[in-house]
Amino acid sequence: MEESKEDETLERDSLETVEKKEEAGEDLRSLLLPDIKDLPPIPPSAVESNFVRYFAADFMKPGHDQYVYRHANGLCVIGLAPTHVALREKGGVTAVDYNVGKSDRSEMKVTGKRKRNAQHFESNSALCKVCANGTFYVVRCCVKGSLLEVNDRLIKQPDLLNSSADREGYIAIIMPKPADWLKIKDSLLSHEDYRKLRGL
Amino acid sequence: MASQETEETRQILSRTALSFPSPRVVHDLLSVGVCPRCIFRLFGVHGQAYCCSAITASVLQSFLEEQKSCDNGTAKNGLVSDGLVRCSYTSQESENGQAYCCICLGVLQLACEQDQEMMTTSKDGSIDDFTATIAELVKRENHHIDGFSIEVSIPPVIVANERAIWMYMNKKYKCEEWFKDKIPSQHISVKDALRLSINTSLENHLGVKSGVDSFRFRLNYSHLDASRMLQSSLANDRTCKKQKTDKKDSGDSLDDSHKSNLKNSNEHLRSESDAVILRTLESMLDHAFCEHFVIPPEKALKPCQLTTTCYRMPIYIGGRYLKFSRKVSQSRWIIDDERMGEASVEEIVGSNALLVCKGDNYKFHAAGREDIDVRMLGSGRPFLVEVSNARYMPSMIDVQLIVEKINNSDKKYVRVRNLKVVNSQAWTLMREGEAEKQKQYAALVWISRALTEEDLHNISSRKDLDIIQRTPIRVLHRRSPLERKKIIHWMKIERIAGSCQYFLLHLCTQAGTYIKEFVHGDLGRTHPSIGAILGCRAEILQLDVTDVKMDFFD
């Protein structure tokens, strides 16, 4: 078959483009693949990498251990520490109720960038009640600030507290003012000090 | 020579005079203090009349007198000629008088104050001298231009002056035939007249054509005294209006409130913009206008102040960038005087573009963004650099120079490709449909158990997976708490040799999806997540953008 010169050039050009693309693909892959030697056997978790973990031991009552994960942007995630007395009960946590006294914390709706309609709470304000083995335990804010969010998944799935209280079982997210954080920071334990205290 | 010029001038004046109703009217306007060019404007004259420097008030005056003697007493409209008696305007006054045009305050006479110095000492400035000064600017600022256009800003008081002259003519000539057919919209504006006057001369000085929008001269005229008087007239009108409405409301004496109103109005008006003043003037009824404004307007003893600037309209350079470092942010990121990250794409690309174009400033716009620790690979992300007041329009060679400076720098943080000069619509095109564009990523993922073949199939079989993401905690402090529905179009696991818990996750998602949160779940606030789908804990170690799917600078 006779091919005109033009066809030849076109074919060569498209071949070159394909080759170029393949080459680019290879370059990309080599950039993406990591060096096995550099990979740790167990990497730090998202919580470990992005938050500083603080703990409040025996908060207002013995055995009521809670955590405060503080993000670099100032937000604090509140939850039950692994040594919380409710998590030691037979059968674990069976129910979570955000309706504490004055209002149902799960009803609030915070909107907007400035979150102006968020409710302000003191560190000893109640967030919710968790029921374990027939007993109700009150979970408190630990940090003075605006309540941005409660983990309403706990209402339908209280078992999250038994499986992963330190992650998916978090209780609430609070935004303290910088001044308020500084005041309370020193009364909280670092992760290391907490472990030492509880002999972990 | 001189006589030829005079002959030309005469011819121009003859043609111009065809638009005049009668010499008597023009005499009158001259005596009231209207300059020749403003007279031309009022009678809808076009063309050469404006750029003829020789036409001064006295020249016009003499021409009209000649015309009159030719006409020999018979005037238009059957009215008896007024002769020269009525005219109070003498040629002496035109030479020695220090007053400027009562409408344009000297703008069309090319007389103005510039930086405390008088631009021209005579009332009828030479066009060439005026434009020579403007042309100087180009050289001083090192601009290289292919053309220009002229932007003029004049104080609103000139609009008031023109209306005052109109009211004056209305009072005097409203019964005459020629006036009955006349409408204000036939007037040529001061701005247009100024352009007609100086365009050709400026073209000659600069050697380029006018009407080119990319480079502009801005002539900014202001007149403090006249503007202050305008404000007090408007304030008076305002208090009168308020008095009338107050009278309607209550019958009390309003002396005290009048005083406070006047004070408030004055202070209020001082800060009002030109647009507001013009609107107020426009909405003012004729009888109210005549009450508060001097008719005809007073002659101006000082001309306007003129500030001239020149600038090139912003130019846009677009292309795609790649980011190879995990320590370089997209935009300049400085907190408390400290730079976060080692550099920024914005500064690397922008500063090089600014350097080559010799501009004053740059702005960086990109189609989306990635975190500082995320690399931008593959074909790159579309971006635009907006360079303001570039000293010249960069050529293809200049653009290539920018590319080289960026790509061949020793740090190798950033690469650009397909760089070229684009027009201002590019910004809109880039923003259009940004929310619909898909993005492709490669994530280095770890799971808490060994990977199985089933996992690979589980992941790759899900097409167009719907997920719901609550605002990630890491941005919750500055974004609204919302639940956002996103789509993961496809996913593919690539095993990594030598590891059973690490793998590369390739995925293509809807624009606006938070990938990191999709992998680790953000404490359950993104659902489903990779961890939830595989039934174990998942963590993300690295993320790279591998494709931004846009037909833009491709």
* In chain A, where the domains are located: 2-38, 46-198
Contact by Cβ (8 Å): B489, B511: no
In a domain? residue B279: no
Tell me, what DSSP letter sits at residue A9? H
Mean pLDDT computed over A160-178: 95
**Is A28 in Cβ contact with B378 (below 8 Å)?**
yes
Cβ contacts of residue B23 below 8 Å, gap of 6+? B17, B64, B65, B67, B68
A-B C-beta contacts closer than 8 Å: 84
Chain B residues close to A33, C-beta within 8 Å: 496, 504
From the CA of A2, how many Å to the nearest CA of chain B? 35
Structural domains counted in chain B = 3
Mean pLDDT computed over B147-166: 93
Of B477, B504, B521, the CB nearest to A75: B477
CA distances from B233 to B239, B257, B281, B282 (A): 10, 18, 11, 14
Contact by Cβ (8 Å): A68, A54: yes
In a domain? residue B66: yes
What's the pLDDT score for residue B75? 46
Contact by Cβ (8 Å): B112, B221: yes
Contact by Cβ (8 Å): B417, B319: yes
Mean pLDDT computed over A8-34: 76
In a domain? residue B98: yes
- Nearest residue in chain A measured CA to CA from B497: A36
- What's the predicted TM-score (pTM) here? 0.79
Same domain assignment for residues B10 and B69: yes
What's the pLDDT score for residue B124? 55
B444 touching A, CB under 8 A?
Answer: yes
Among left, alpha and beta (phi > 0; psi -120 to 50; other), residue B508 is: beta
Task: Share the mean pLDDT of chain B.
Answer: 85
From the CA of B344, how many Å to the nearest CA of chain A? 21
Same domain assignment for residues B365 and B289: no
Of B473, B496, B546, the CB nearest to A77: B473
Per-residue pLDDT reduced to its tens digit, B94-151: 444 567 899 999 999 888 877 655 555 444 568 898 999 899 999 999 999 999 999 9
Same domain assignment for residues B102 and B141: yes
Residue B87 pLDDT class (50, 70, 90 cuts): very low
Q: Which residue in the block uniquely carries the two structure tokens 């190879």? A: B324
Is the pLDDT at B544 greater than 90, yes or no? yes
SS (H, E, C) B520-539: HCCCCCEECCHHHHHCCCEE
Contact by Cβ (8 Å): B130, B119: yes
Which position has the higher pLDDT, B119 or B355?
Answer: B355
What's the pLDDT score for residue B387? 96
- Measure the CA–CA gap between B380 and B390, rounded to whole angstroms: 26
**Is A34 in Cβ contact with B496 (below 8 Å)?**
yes
Residue B1 pLDDT class (50, 70, 90 cuts): very low
Is the pLDDT at B181 greater than 80, yes or no? no
Cβ contacts of residue B511 below 8 Å, gap of 6+? B368, B434, B435, B436, B437, B438, B439
Per-residue pLDDT reduced to its tens digit, B472-485: 999 999 998 999 99
Cβ contacts of residue B74 below 8 Å, gap of 6+? B81
- Helix (H), strand (E) at residue B363: strand B361-366
- Helix (H), strand (E) at residue B304: strand B304-312
**Dihedral, CA atoms, B433, B365, B357, B411, nearest 10 degrees?**
-120
**Residues in a beta bridge with A77:** A69, A173
Residue B268 pLDDT class (50, 70, 90 cuts): low
B301 touching A, CB under 8 A?
Answer: no
Let me know if B371 is a catalytic residue: yes
Mean pLDDT computed over A44-73: 95
B224 touching A, CB under 8 A?
Answer: no
A108 touching B, CB under 8 A?
Answer: no
Is the pLDDT at B158 greater than 80, yes or no? yes
Of A39, A111, A173, the CB nearest to B473: A173
Residue B336 pLDDT class (50, 70, 90 cuts): confident
- Nearest residue in chain B measured CA to CA from A75: B477
Of chain B, the percentage scoring pLDDT greater than 70 comes to 87
Put simply, the chain B residues between 494 and 513 with a CB less than 8 A from any chain A CB are 496-499, 502, 504
In a domain? residue B261: no
Per-residue pLDDT reduced to its tens digit, B430-443: 888 677 789 999 99
Domain stops at, among B312, B329, B359:
B312
Which position has the higher pLDDT, B254 or B182?
Answer: B182
B442 touching A, CB under 8 A?
Answer: yes
- Nearest residue in chain A measured CA to CA from B545: A32
Put simply, the chain A residues between 48 and 67 with a CB less than 8 A from any chain B CB are 50
**Is A113 in Cβ contact with B479 (below 8 Å)?**
yes
Which position has the higher pLDDT, B299 or B347?
Answer: B347
CATH classification of the domain holding B480: 3.30.70.3190
Residue B256 pLDDT class (50, 70, 90 cuts): low
In a domain? residue B274: no
Domain extent at residue B106: 2-237+284-312
Same domain assignment for residues B112 and B219: yes
In a domain? residue B348: yes
Is the pLDDT at B456 greater than 60, yes or no? yes
Residue B242 pLDDT class (50, 70, 90 cuts): confident
Give the distance from CA B258 to its chain's centroid.
Answer: 40
B278 touching A, CB under 8 A?
Answer: no
Look up residue A96 and give its two tokens.
């979570």
Before B303, cis peptide (omega within 30)?
Answer: no
**Strand bridging mode A51-56 / A66-71:** antiparallel
Contact by Cβ (8 Å): B321, B381: yes
Among B246, B360, B371, B547, the one annotated catalytic:
B371
Per-residue pLDDT reduced to its tens digit, B370-418: 999 999 999 999 999 999 999 989 999 999 999 999 999 888 899 999 9
Task: Share the mean pLDDT of chain A.
Answer: 89
Task: Note the CATH number of domain A46-198.
Answer: 2.40.50.100
ipTM topping 0.95: no
Chain B residues close to A42, C-beta within 8 Å: 446
- E strands present in B448-524: 465-470, 483-495, 502-510
Domain stops at, among B293, B312, B331:
B312
B481 touching A, CB under 8 A?
Answer: yes
Same domain assignment for residues B70 and B213: yes
Mean pLDDT computed over B232-237: 84
**Is B521 in Cβ contact with A148 (below 8 Å)?**
no
Task: Tell me which of A10-14, A160-164, B326-330, B461-465 is least confident.
Answer: A10-14
What's the pLDDT score for residue A62? 93
